[in-house]
Amino acid sequence: MAEITNNTFADTLVLLLEGKKYSAARDVLETMHPADIAAMLEECESEKVPLLFRLIPKEIAAETFVEMDEDQQQLLIQGFSDSELKEVVDELYTDDAADIVGEMPANVVRRILKQADPEKRKMINEILKYPEDSAGSIMTTEYVSLRPDMTVEDAIKRIRRTGIDKETINTCYVIDENRKLQGIVTIRSLLLSEENVLMSEIMVEEVISALTKEDREAVAHDFTKYDLSVMPVVDEENRLVGIVTFDDVMDVLQEETTEDIEKMAAITPLEKPYLKTAVSKMFLSRIPWLLILMFSAAFTGLIITHFENALASHIALVASIPMLMATGGNCGSQASVTVIRGLSLGEIEFRDILRVIWKEIRVAVLCGVTMAAVNYLKLMAFDGVGMYVAAVISLTLLVTVIVAKVVGCSLPMVASKIGFDPAVMASPFITTIIDAVSLGIYVKIAMTILQ
């Protein structure tokens, strides 16, 4: 399929609007996917958005609304009449509605909830009450529930009646009179069974489910582990309260990874995409870490000041500080980043710590010896540094690499064990620690070898 260039579409549509060719604009919009329309609307000037939105075919207007960004959603809601708002809210799935409500200012929330019918309002409030990172917060309450004593014919009638058309809802849930989950029935098995077969006969009873309070990241891991497309969410008494679908899980996986990556780079995770984040927010998410790290780096400076004489005797010793620090930092972040990713993918657990350290030590010795040898030759051959000074630098390099790898791999694991986020233990912190340690070693080795 050819790539749709949203730009051209936006330009075309604006031209159609300006020429008052509304029915042509509507026809164009009809051919587009909601996600593409939303992307296109983001390119438009904001005063054109409400008019364009009103031209979107009713069937996909709500879906398009969900895909739009928060600012544009708010702008639209403020411009909506009550009946327009009701039309959109009625079409929203409860999980999407809850997401939107969770991000709007209080006055907008009041308007939305007023337009929702009582049933939906109750469900939205239900979802909002779960903690932000729980399975409950990402579930939707639109699913088909069946009873064990229903026949295939009854079940088909019920599916027809509910009118849920979300594509992922290809699984129906069999619950007893207390809403306790008994099993699942796929639409496929309904289609292939005789009309008078009972749900209790064709349902699968082993169901992988999530608790409402369960961490959404754990739920996402179960999805990938068991290759699920949908998972029921139950309360502590195994009563069905909702379902989580794979599309929300893909979003969770991406968000959690972005957070990990941000933490590894010493940034407090941001909530919005880069271009939407205010400069002040970005400043606040970065400056605390920078200040902490600046002060920690000052300790390394103290070591230099303290051993001024030892270092100043050979300028080559001072000139090698950047190389030693950079190497320590790089080795440390190679080890820490690998381990952090392994932890978050579940490939490594705390009990593997000794195997991990042993592996890193062997890798470190190989890397360290190679680098020290290369560096020694370089210092002697090209920089005209004396044998002993070159030995000091190269020996420090070797020790730094080993310390860096060991600290880099073990700190994230210890962090995960004591309930800290391993990602925060990434490069910058580890680099700061390694800098100080390796400079200390440097001075020690220099004083020993050079008298």
The span of 42-50, 104-112, 125-133, 224-232 binding a second copy (CB under 8 A) equals 224-232
> Residue 287 interacts with a second copy (CB under 8 A)?
yes
CA gap 207, 149 in Å, rounded: 19
Q: Do 77 and 112 touch, CB atoms closer than 8 A? A: yes
Stretch that binds a second copy, among 49-57, 81-89, 117-125, 366-374 (CB under 8 A): 366-374
Q: How far is the CB of 100 from a second copy (least distance, A)?
A: 16
CA distance 169 to 185: 11
Q: Would you count residue 338 as binding a second copy (CB under 8 A)?
A: yes
Q: Residues 172 to 211: which contact a second copy by CB under 8 A?
A: 186-188, 190-192, 206, 208-211
Check residue 64 for interaction with a second copy (CB under 8 A). Answer: no
Name which of residues 296 to 325 contact a second copy (CB under 8 A). 296-298, 300-302, 304-305, 308, 311-312, 315-316, 318-323, 325
- Between residues 86 and 180, which has the closer beta carbon with respect to a second copy? 180
Minimum CB separation of residue 287 from a second copy in Å reads 5
176: phi then psi, degrees, rounded to nearest 5: -90, -170
Hey, which residues between 369 and 408 contact a second copy (CB under 8 A)?
370-371, 374-375, 378, 401
Backbone angles phi, psi at 184, to 5 degrees: -125, 150
Shortest reach from residue 122's CB to a second copy, in Å: 26
Min dist CB 45 to a second copy, Å, is 16
Q: Which residues contact 378 (CB under 8 A, 6 or more apart)?
A: none
DSSP per residue, 351-402: GGHHHHHHHHHHHHHHHHHHHHHHHHHHHHHTS---HHHHHHHHHHHHHHHH
Cβ atoms 239, 177 nearer than 8 A: no
| CA separation for the pair 24, 42 (Å, rounded) | 21
Per CB under 8 A, the list member of 283, 350, 388, 420 interacting with a second copy is 283
Q: Which of 149, 153, 195, 347 binds a second copy (CB under 8 A)?
A: 347
Nearest approach in angstroms of CB 150 to a second copy is 15
Return the range that interacts with a second copy (CB under 8 A); candidates 100-108, 132-140, 327-335, 443-451.
327-335
Structure tokens at 32: 């587009």
Check if the beta carbon of residue 252 is closer than 8 Å to that of residue 138: yes
Q: Which of 124, 266, 392, 406 binds a second copy (CB under 8 A)?
A: 266
Report the C-alpha gap between 38 and 49 in whole angstroms. Answer: 10
Of residues 78 and 302, the one with the C-beta less far from a second copy:
302
User: How far apart are the C-alpha atoms of 431 and 334, rounded to whole Å?
Assistant: 11
User: Given candidates 329, 390, 394, 399, which one binds a second copy under the rule CB under 8 A?
Assistant: 329
Q: Residue 168 interacts with a second copy (CB under 8 A)?
A: yes
C-beta closer to a second copy: residue 85 or 401: 401
Residue 265 C-beta: closest distance to a second copy, Å: 4
**112/423 Cα distance (integer angstroms):** 38
User: Does 162 interact with a second copy (rule: CB under 8 A)?
Assistant: no
What residues from 93 to 152 belong to the interface with a second copy (CB under 8 A)? none
Q: How far is CA 18 from the centre of its chain?
A: 40
Could you tell me if residue 393 is left (phi over 0), alpha (psi between -120 and 50 degrees) or otherwise beta? alpha
Q: Restricting to residues 402-431, which ones interact with a second copy according to CB under 8 A?
A: 427-428, 431
Q: Closest separation between CB of residue 219 and a second copy, Å?
A: 11
Minimum distance, C-beta of residue 451 to a second copy, in the bound complex (Å): 21
**Distance (Å, rounded) from C-alpha 268 to C-alpha 347?**
25
x/- string (CB under 8 A) for a second copy, residues 225-254?
Answer: xxx-x----------------xx-xxx-xx
Q: Can you give the C-alpha Rg of the chain in angstroms?
A: 30
End-to-end CA distance of the chain: 73
Please report how close the Cβ of residue 429 comes to a second copy at its closest, in angstroms: 10
